[in-house]
Amino acid sequence: MLMMIDSPFYCVVDLVMSEGQPSLGIEIVDKNNQRELFLQGDAAEKFREEVKYLAAQEPDIDDIEAFIESYKPWMQHPVTLH
């Protein structure tokens, strides 16, 4: 697992089980609302590309959280175990 983002409000993990293996997907957790989103395939790849672009801009925490909040409408699944 690769922790991509861990802020007071959100946690983003890329589920890579071992080096050289494909990722199972990306989990985005809204800590305050206890909701999550799981991205796979093209959606996960698009998210990775957006994170790389954002990182190149040298963002502050507000920029990072604003980016993650753009995915909030799709965070409908309740977090039950974490």
The residue ranges of the chain whose pLDDT is under 50 are none
Q: Which is nearest to 70 in space by CA: 16, 23, 1, 46?
A: 46
Give residue limits of the domains in the chain. Answer: 2-78
Structure confidence at residue 82 (pLDDT) = 53
Neighbours of 73 (CB within 10 A): 8
Q: What is the pLDDT of residues 40-63, one digit of tens each?
A: 999 999 999 999 999 999 999 899
pLDDT of amino acid 20: 78
pLDDT given at position 81:
64
